[in-house]
Structure 1
Amino acid sequence: MKTQYCGALILILALVAGAAAAEGSVPIYPQEFWGAVTIDGSAAPAGTVIVAMIGDTECGSIETTESGKYGSSSRYYGDRLIVRTTEDQVGETITFLVDEEEAEQTATFTPGSTTALDLSVGSAVT
């Protein structure tokens, strides 16, 4: 009898804990970005910081290591800008800040995808 009572108690606690966890936002696969980056029409210098935002929430960042490009087309040869968020933000618009200035380009959050996206801020000098 005591064993059945303990088993039932453990089962109830597991169900309550599972229900509580289901209420929160579930993390999902990230989206990865890479591409060219320009400031005022010129290649952004190494050390430029790119931040991905959904609304007011920072979802990922990367610092460039090479002039004019962020991330790598191959995950085996370099980093990518990894955007991590939750399932309730699927389909939301991602904005990008290049050294704290908003880029002209945006993207839609699509979990599990890899996206080539060239970013630019400022205007090109003609």
Structure 2
Amino acid sequence: MKTFAGAAVAAALLAGSALAADTAFAQSPPEPPSRFAGSVTIDGQPAPAGTPIEARVGSTSCGVTTVFLQGGQARYVIDVASAATQAGCGTPGAQVTFVVGGQAAPQTGSWRNYELAQLDLALVTATPTATTTPPPAATPTPRPPVAGTSRAHTDAPSAWWIVAMAGLASLGFAGMGWAASRRQ
């Protein structure tokens, strides 16, 4: 009985091993990603450490990383997934675009999972165009009066106004004196 039980266990183990080996040989390993690496500059300066970088194939996001500093240089390494591991991603020769800190980089790469692609990313941020403000409305420049003219219509009262008021006052008093003399 012991030999029968031992033989049954050995047969079960052998059958399980054969089944596992058959399953392992039927599955192929996943297709490796395409790897890109290089420096990252923004406006000629090293990109700040931690700046996000996204790799896209078409409109599909196929890899994400961040900028790190190495030897005083801003660098990145990113793996771009294959279409076999993520739908819409890399196939041999597919164009890979990069988004650095939310801005599309002008450099692109070609998806090849059999070699490391050295690709430096250099962004130039858009400079805002200066808005022009119209000059302030011109204010008239005061000019000295021309001889024989009055500035009463353009400027604050000057000495002539005082003279005019004094003349009117004396006429008023003269008129009152005349009226008083007529009453008597």
* Category of TM-score, reference length = shorter chain: 0.5 to 0.7
Match of 1:63 among 62, 66, 73: 66
TM-score of the superposition, structure 1-length normalised?
A: 0.64
Whichever residue aligns with residue 83 of structure 1, its letter is V
Counterpart-to-counterpart distance in 2, 1:120 and 1:89: 25
Cα offset, 1:69, TM superposition? 2.4
- How is 1:57-96 mapped onto 2 (pairs within 5 angstroms)? 57-66=60-69, 68-71=73-76, 80-86=77-83, 89-96=91-98
Counterpart position of 1:121: 123
Counterpart position of 1:111: 113
Structure whose CA Rg is larger: 2
1:70–1:81 contact (8 Å) kept in structure 2: no
Structure 2 residues without counterparts, runs of 5 or longer: 1-25, 85-89, 128-184
Q: Which has the higher contact order (CA 8 A, sep 6+)?
A: 1
Cα distance per residue 1:92-120 (max 9 Å; x no partner): 10000001111111011112321111001
Counterpart position of 1:9: none
Counterpart-to-counterpart distance in 2, 1:54 and 1:42: 27
Counterpart-to-counterpart distance in 2, 1:32 and 1:89: 13
Counterpart position of 2:21: none
More displaced stretch, 37-46 vs 80-89: 80-89
Whichever residue aligns with residue 81 of structure 1, its letter is I
Cα offset, 1:27, TM superposition? 5.0
Counterpart position of 1:6: none
2:62 match: secondary structure: strand
TM-score of the superposition, structure 2-length normalised?
A: 0.45
Whichever residue aligns with residue 119 of structure 1, its letter is L
Percentage of identical aligned residues: 34
Whichever residue aligns with residue 42 of structure 2, its letter is I
1:120 match: secondary structure: strand
Counterpart-to-counterpart distance in 2, 1:116 and 1:95: 14
Question: Which has a greater percent of helix?
Answer: 2
Counterpart-to-counterpart distance in 1, 2:54 and 2:91: 17
Counterpart position of 1:100: 102
Counterpart position of 1:3: none
1:30–1:113 contact (8 Å) kept in structure 2: no
Question: Which has a greater percent of strand?
Answer: 1
Cα offset, 1:85, TM superposition? 1.8
* RMSD of aligned residue pairs (Cα, Å): 2.6
Structure 1 residues without counterparts, runs of 5 or longer: 1-17, 19-25, 72-79
